[in-house]
Amino acid sequence: MNLREKLVAIQGSLKAPKNQRNNFGNYNYRSCEDILEALKPHLTKHEVLLTLEDGIIDASVLYVESTATVSFDGESISVTAQAGINPDKKGMDIAQSFGASSSYARKYALNGLFLIDDTKDADSTNTHDKSPVKAEKEDNKAWLQKDSVQFNNAKKAIKEKGFTIADIRKKYKVSKEVESLLIN
């Protein structure tokens, strides 16, 4: 098997359960560490090496860029994700702020590489009182489904936090029917 075939096999068999709980937000989620633990037996079985690399980017916004790479027999496949860093985050020292952003970016790089779907994960819609982050590729956005947790969160954000449909479209594809339900 070549690397692509091995990656497809891993993607098809990987189960990364949401073993973490956010009691404040009342949802379950999976951490970067949960994904790595679920991956280890698959990587061993297929003799594939996984590496994670982080870089700090200081553009108009400070962010961490994480790259997840699988390698086998001289071939490699990589996926990169970014997460903003707030060095002034209340309740965190600077190392914790950088570490949290690194973990978040790594989680989404791993999600992309191993096709782990977080569309039903409330953490993927939790904006922590900020505007949703723009998706790297428009085609990768999930459709916002009416009566889903994400729909309810979006409706609440519009009603209580002043979000607009444009803000919601930064994170999701929104049908005319769902848009109508969101604004009414």
pTM: 0.64
Residue indicated by tokens 């970067």? 32
* Residue 139: predicted pLDDT: 56
Residue type, 87: P
Tell the burial category of 174 from Cβ atoms under 10 Å away from its Cβ (0-12, 13-18, 19+): buried
- Residue spans of the domains in the chain: they are 1-116, 125-184
Judge whether 105 and 141 are in contact, CB under 8 Å: no
If we measure between CA atoms, which residue out of 118, 110, 92, 103 comes closest to residue 171?
118
Write the DSSP symbol of residue 143.
Answer: B
Question: Mind listing the pLDDT tens digit of every residue in the chain (184 residues)?
Answer: 999 999 999 999 999 989 899 888 888 999 999 999 999 999 999 999 999 999 999 988 899 999 999 999 999 999 999 999 998 888 999 999 999 999 999 999 999 999 998 655 445 455 555 544 443 444 578 888 888 888 888 888 888 878 888 888 888 888 888 888 888 7
Residue 164 sits at the vertex; the CA angle it makes with 31 and 18, to the nearest 5 degrees, is 15
